[in-house]
Amino acid sequence: MLSAVFKWVHDQREPSLGTIVEITQVLKTLNPLAAKAFVQLYLGNIVEDDPDSES
C-alpha cells in the first residue's frame, strides 16, 4: 500500500475508483471537510451546483 500511495503523490499512478470511494468514506467519518476536499481533487466541482445547468 505504501508504494501505491508514493506513486499517487508523485503522479506516477492514479488510485482506482474503488480506492477513491474507500478513502472518501473513511475521511468522511474523520473529517467531512477533508473528504470533500479529497473528492474535489479528483472530480473537480462537477458535484457542485452549476448555475448554468438546467434543474
The pLDDT-based confidence of 52 (bands split at 50, 70, 90) is: low
The pLDDT-based confidence of 25 (bands split at 50, 70, 90) is: very high
Handedness of CA 40, 46, 50, 55 (dihedral sign): negative
Q: What is the pTM of this model?
A: 0.63
**Residue ranges in 1-55 assigned as alpha helix (H):** 2-9, 17-30, 32-43
> What mean pLDDT comes out for the span 28-55?
77
Return the closest-CA partner of residue 40 out of 29, 18, 24, 53.
24
> What mean pLDDT comes out for the span 17-32?
92
Residues 6+ apart with CB under 8 A from 47: 39
